[in-house]
Amino acid sequence: MSPERFTDSQFNRATKFVEEGVIAESLDTGDGDKNPLSREGFKDSPATASHGGVIAQGDICREITINLSAIRRLYASPTTDDPDAEAHLKLRRYILALALVAGTAIQGNRT
C-alpha cells in the first residue's frame, strides 16, 4: 500500500486508570511500547502512518433489536391519554416503519 493511503488513528482508553487510582502509579513507567500499561491498553496510544481498521476473517453480521414496548408507549399528543386514538396509532406505525427500514438498509458501499 502506498504511503499516501496510510491513516492516523488514536486509541483512547475507557477510563484514566492511574489517575483514578485503579492501577498503581508505580506501574506507569517508560514511554510508548516500553510502558507495560500502554502495551495492555491502559494508556492512550496514537498510531501514525499505519494501516487503520480491523481485518475481519469470516462473516460480519449486524443485529437489530426494536423495542416494541417503547414504541407502544409513544403518544402523538401529551394532552391526550387515550391509547386507542388514531394519531397515536399512526405515530407508532410510522416509528416502527422507520426502525424496520433503518435495520434492513444496506450500509455503506460494498466493494
Task: For residues 59-84, give the mean pLDDT.
Answer: 81
List the beta bridge partners of residue 46.
10
Residue 79 has pLDDT above 70, yes or no: no
CA distance 50 to 92: 47
**What number of other Cβ atoms are within 10 A of residue 46's Cβ?**
11
Hey, where are the domains in the chain? 3-50, 68-104
Task: For residues 76-102, give the mean pLDDT.
Answer: 83
pLDDT classification of 1: cutoffs 50, 70, 90: very low
Say which residue the cell 401529551 belongs to.
Answer: 78
End-to-end CA distance of the chain: 17
49 conformational bin, left if phi > 0, alpha if psi -120 to 50, beta if neither: left
Residue 13 · residue 28 · CB < 8 Å: no
Three-state SS for 12?
A: coil
